[in-house]
Amino acid sequence: MAEKQNMKRMKELIQILNQASKAYYDEDREIMSNFEYDKLYDELVDLEKETGITLSNSPTINVGYEVVSSLPKEKHPEPMLSLDKTKDVEVLADWLGDHAGILSWKMDGLTVVLTYENGSLTKAVTRGNGEVGEVITNNARAFQNIPNKISYQGKLVVRGEAVIGYEDFEAINAALPETDAKYKNPRNLCSGAVRQLDSSITAKRNVNFFAFFLVEPEDPELLKKLGNSFEERFIFLKEIGFDVVEYKKVNSGNEIAGAVAEFAEKLPENAFPSDGLVLDLDDVAYGKSLGTTAKFPRNAIAFKWKDEQQETVLREIEWSPSRTGLINPVAVFDPVELEGTVVKRASLHNVTYVKDMQLGIGDRIKVYKANMIIPQLSENLTKSGNSPIAEACPVCGEKTVIKNENGSETLHCPNPECPAKHIKEFDLFASRNAMNMDGLSEATMEKFMEEGFLHSLVDLFHLDQHKDQIIQMDGFGQKSYEKIQESVENARNNATLAGFLYGLGIPGIGAQNAKLIARYFKNDMESILAASKEELCEIEGLGEVLADGVISFVKDEKKIQEVRALLNEINFVQEENNAPQDLVGKIFVITGSLETYPNRDALKKEIEDRGGKCSGSVSAKTSYLINNDILSNSSKNKKAKSLGIPIITENDFKKL
């Protein structure tokens, strides 16, 4: 009977794990957390050991899934196996023993194999299913930091990870139109960017490549230079122009705990996503002599952070509407401390997740931080299942709709006029770089929407009509109301046209482009509304795509009606700019703490007033990186050094 139950459970686990892997690798979506996957995977491994049976479709022996796209396919010369893994530092140390090793980030993106011949990049192929990948050579040439030509003239094959940084991920997500679904994480965005059919789209996604392995070269002279050291291969790759994953050499297992702790400290500040560490044997020949198992090479092992868990009590499930109409469930629980911070909320992903976890108010649950950053539920200990799915949208009251999307149920509000679908528009309009309505947070405006005070942006200027109700609301009062009104009146009488333009949410028009437009049209809104595409394209730095966004906006009668109504409410101040235009054509990136400026916005304003531009990430177009810590080993400093871009302090900037 026990054997029958074990076999039944194994089949269940294989089906669940294969479905999760297919979703993750082939469809760029997640149906379970890494924590859940690892837990189920380990359970399957234990059952296979106990029964002595391994089924042919088990994920413990299969590597990945078939690639589905119209990109050309190519078989790898030898299978690209995944790595065995552990969450135990002691196991990692024991694995290394008395040998030297290279500990590096396990970056969370898409593995790509590059081939160079006669000093030129000739081919780039994704890992795919480990056996067959997709040819993405043109897209790889559009990566931010891949050398298209190298000094070494022999054949060279380099494996690495294509990744998109957190800053670029957030900027790209923020720029997506309201109707587009946001990317869940940088890996999903990167996977889509790398596998585009149009390389120009890849170029806009700021994909970076970090080399983590040099396939053994055939050239005896190069082999002689590299010797038998894995680290020497990293050094060589850096010498010929590659960015390599950040690594640390450890001389034995005794040094592992300290090295892992060093990486853990850097994790919260990491510019690029990672989901653990990789430990390679530094002795290449010895590692090669160990061979492989059916699925894993024996010369390397992966380490995944052992998630700190805390038990707590689920107090509420909030159903939070978004501007796409999707209503996301959020767990609210008694506060617990995880990885040094207090946590009291965690995403529950979708309806299917809530049902599968059998969540109910008052349940005892376990929570953790995925990759030490994102709060997640790991287990429901009591499984009362008494929490109903919201039948009405919590903002507009419209009856909700459950949709089945790729095997997962999600909750939606079908009302196109639901204020929640416009909350981000309100939040942007009231933000500091727009109308600067300091007293109006997103949470406050959401409450006002729920009470029916806000339907359009113009309503922000007429909150005095609801004075008595606002004063009586929980968390408000006379002083809160007065602060809000003071903020609204300040916006009414001290707004700039550039801030107003930015606050309208015109596709692609950020704070800097809004200033360029306002300056070009001499702060005349009527001229902007009447501008042709040709006129807009004359503005340096705007381009056709952004010009099309402006034209599309001004042709929308409903939006222009709202703009006209807003113009009747606002008295713009004329910004005088007598600053010398000595930074025209210069692009700056600002990082680190400031000493003489109150905040980054103040420094950005001075740069823009002097004709310069600011960017969030370092690229070949960057003129200067401003960082008071010039000797820092931050990713931006490293990138600037690799591109030969000057790193200057605030005082250096003032001397320009």
Q: Which of 244, 277, 249 is nearest to 263 (CA)?
A: 277
pLDDT-derived band at 613 (thresholds 50, 70, 90) equals confident
Tell me, what's the pLDDT at 486?
A: 92
What's the pLDDT at 577? 60
- Which of 557, 540, 613 is closest to 583 using CA atoms? 613
> Which pLDDT does position 581 carry in this prediction?
77
Rounded average pLDDT over 390-414: 86
DSSP labels for 439-494?
T--HHHHHHHHHTT--SSGGGGGGGGGGHHHHHHSTT--HHHHHHHHHHHHHHHHH
SS3 assignment for 232-289 = HHHHHHHHCCCCECCEEEECCHHHHHHHHHHHHHHHHHCCCCEEEEEEEECEHHHHHH
| pLDDT tens figures, 344-372 | 888 888 898 899 899 999 999 999 877 66
Output the CA–CA distances (angstroms, integers) from residue 434 to 401, 491, 499, 533, 631, in the order listed.
35, 9, 4, 24, 35
Q: What's the pLDDT at 112?
A: 95
| Tokens found for residue 488 | 């609204």
Contacts of residue 526, defined as CB under 8 A and 6 or more positions apart, other chains included, come to none
Q: How far is residue 31's CA from residue 353's CA, in Å, rounded to a whole number?
A: 8
In tens, the pLDDT along 76-101 reads 888 888 888 888 899 999 999 999 99
pLDDT in tens, 8-20: 788 888 888 877 7
Q: Which residues contact 537 (CB under 8 A, 6 or more apart)?
A: 543, 544, 547
Mind listing the pLDDT tens digit for each residue in 626-649? 998 888 777 788 888 888 899 998
Question: Residue 559 and residue 504: Cα distance in Å, rounded?
Answer: 9
Order the strands of the 587-590 sheet from edge to edge: 613-615, 587-590, 624-626, 647-648
Amino acid at 201: I
Quote the pLDDT of residue 24: 66
| pLDDT in the model for residue 371 | 60
State the pLDDT at residue 3.
65
pLDDT at 488: 92
| Angle 139-144-146 from CA coordinates, rounded to 5° | 75
- Digit-coded pLDDT (tens) for 467-499: 888 887 777 888 888 999 999 999 999 889 999
Instruction: Read off the DSSP letter of residue 434.
Output: T
What pLDDT digit, counting tens, does each position of 219-249 carry? 899 999 999 999 999 999 998 888 899 999 9
Annotated catalytic sites, by residue?
Answer: 106
Query: How many contiguous H segments (helices) and E segments (strands) does the chain have?
Result: 25, 22
pLDDT digits (tens, 9 = 90+) for 502-548: 999 887 788 878 888 888 888 889 999 998 888 888 886 677 878 88
With 80 as the cut, is the pLDDT of residue 163 above it? yes
**Model confidence at 102: pLDDT above 70:** yes
Any idea how long the chain is? 656
On whether the CB atoms of residues 140 and 114 are closer than 8 A, the answer is yes
Q: Which range among 35-39, 79-83, 281-285, 613-617 has the greatest average pLDDT?
A: 281-285
Contact 127, 110 (CB under 8 A): yes
In the prediction, which pLDDT does 421 show?
73
Average pLDDT for 25-48: 75
- Residues of the chain with pLDDT > 70, as a percent, come to 91
Crossing angle of helices 423-430 and 442-450, in 10° steps, is 130
Would you state the pLDDT for residue 269? 75
In whole angstroms, what is the distance from residue 226 CA to residue 516 CA? 52
The H or E element spanning position 48 is: helix 34-51
The answer to whether residue 68 scores a pLDDT higher than 80 is no
At 28 the pLDDT is 57
Please calculate the CA angle 150-156-160 and round it to the nearest 5 degrees.
90
123 pLDDT tier (thresholds 50, 70, 90): very high
Rounded Cα–Cα distance for residues 375 and 368 (Å): 6
Q: Please name the helix (run of DSSP H) or strand (run of DSSP E) that holds residue 332, with its range, or none.
A: strand 326-338
